[in-house]
Amino acid sequence: MDKYRVMQAENRKLYNQVQDLRGAIRVFCRIRPAGRTNDDSPVCVESAGEDGLVVRCPGPKNELKDFHFDKVFEPQVTQAQVYEDTQPLIRSMLDGFNVCIFAYGQTGAGKTHTMSGTDVEHADGRGINYRALDDLFLLRDERATEVVYSIKVQMVEIYNETLRDLLVDGGHQVRLEIHNTQASGLNVPGAKQEVVTSSADVLRLMDKGARNRKSAETRMNERSSRSHQVLTVIVDGDNLLTGAQTHGCLHLVDLAGSERTTKSEATGDRLVEANHINSSLSALGDVMAALANKSKHVPFRNSKLTQLLADSLSGQAKVMMFMHIAPEASSFQETLSTLKFATRVSEITLGQVGTW
């Protein structure tokens, strides 16, 4: 078979997989290797098979709790292996689907590792954000005789319910508003979108985004864990043979740390931040639950985060949530709260058949 036919066959296969996925939400769990955060307390989490997880509650009873997901990634699983499960979704975007991928979990549980990566100057360390864009470039080249694609990137953070453009340097910020009526990926007209054509472009932009995020940090505030970062990829395709046009949008979301701050710990700015994070994460949970239940009313308007993502979550969006677990016993309470959030979304969707 020539290359074109191979590609057609592959597209059909992927198309079928995508059909299975219509409206689906997949919930994955990734366990961070122990000891990455200077915490030497014993490990209280173990995987139990491909899709299960056991948490050992500290205390005299040593009670065990079981949880189930679409899949559990054990600590030694590589960035490339994690990406394998994401790949079909990224590909479906080229055919005009909207996709959202979230990293949820307490600070230090590995969200940024999954989305951006660690030591990204080495390809092995790169997370989903880089791999997704590289894949899009590859597919664009493979299909070049048939379709012309334009790939654009936008990067914003949401801090205390305010949007900030991470592709614009500090002094040049404009006020960003969300317009609910726009097509997916175009609902923040004031945000800068940059065309990317190669991995080098992406590395440069990510670096810029990271620097802009860093520049807003104060001594007291490690900003990256207190804000949501949303990288949006917008892909438009023009089919040269049929004249058909496609439009797809991918949101890659590194959420703020989900840890609960007690009133006694947090005062002033910290308390304001904590309240904003708590309310936006619960708004996200409500939206996910409504989508999973196929409810008529999805409460997108309750937070900036859900408003921003509404454009691609309504309709036939494909959603993937990576729940991140810190395995140390000291994080036990936060782990349970993460697993509870995950269960709320996944117990409704488990049982829906369909392969990736």
Q: Beta 228-239 vs 194-195: how paired, if at all?
A: unpaired
Q: Residue 128 CB, nearest distance to ligand ADP (Å)?
A: 12
For residues 213 and 284, give the distance between their C-alpha atoms in angstroms, rounded to a whole number.
Answer: 22
Q: By Cβ distance, which residue is nearest to Mg ion?
A: 112
Q: Residue 341 CB, nearest distance to ligand ADP (Å)?
A: 14
Interface map 102-131 toward Mg ion (x if CB under 5 A): ---------xx-------------------
Q: Which does 248 bind (CB under 5 to 8 A by kind): Mg ion, ligand ADP, none?
A: none
With CA atoms as reference, report the closest residue to 272 among 317, 224, 221, 233: 221
For residues 232 and 167, give the distance between their C-alpha atoms in angstroms, rounded to a whole number.
Answer: 12
For residues 24 and 50, give the distance between their C-alpha atoms in angstroms, rounded to a whole number.
Answer: 20
Nearer to ligand ADP, 110 or 185 (CB): 110
SS3 at position 8: helix
Q: Is 105 within any annotated ligand binding site?
A: yes
Nearer to Mg ion, 21 or 255 (CB): 255
Strand partners, 231: 155, 252
Nearer to ligand ADP, 71 or 91 (CB): 71
**For residue 339, which amino acid is it?**
L
Q: Is 59 within any annotated ligand binding site?
A: no
Nearer to Mg ion, 112 or 307 (CB): 112
Contact assessment for residue 97 and residue 316, using Cβ atoms and an 8 Å cutoff: yes
Q: Is 106 within any annotated ligand binding site?
A: yes
Q: Residue 212 CB, nearest distance to ligand ADP (Å)?
A: 17
Q: Residue 118 CB, nearest distance to Mg ion (Å)?
A: 10
What does each C-alpha distance from 155 to 188, 233, 294, 302 come to in angstroms?
11, 9, 29, 21
Q: Which does 109 bind (CB under 5 to 8 A by kind): ligand ADP, Mg ion, none?
A: ligand ADP
Q: Residue 327 CB, nearest distance to ligand ADP (Å)?
A: 10
Q: Which does 108 bind (CB under 5 to 8 A by kind): Mg ion, ligand ADP, none?
A: ligand ADP
What does each C-alpha distance from 306 to 97, 157, 298 come to in angstroms?
18, 13, 10
Footprint on this chain of ligand ADP (rule: CB under 6 A) = 32-33, 36-37, 105, 107-113, 118, 225, 324
Residue 353: CB atoms within 10 A of its CB come to: 6
Contact assessment for residue 93 and residue 235, using Cβ atoms and an 8 Å cutoff: yes
Q: Which does 32 bind (CB under 5 to 8 A by kind): ligand ADP, Mg ion, none?
A: ligand ADP
Q: Which does 36 bind (CB under 5 to 8 A by kind): ligand ADP, Mg ion, none?
A: ligand ADP
Q: Is 352 within any annotated ligand binding site?
A: no
Contact assessment for residue 344 and residue 323, using Cβ atoms and an 8 Å cutoff: no
Nearer to ligand ADP, 108 or 237 (CB): 108
SS3 at position 282: helix
Annotated binding site: 105-112
Annotated binding site for ATP: 105-112
Q: Which residue ranges make up the site for Mg ion (CB under 5 A)?
A: 111-112
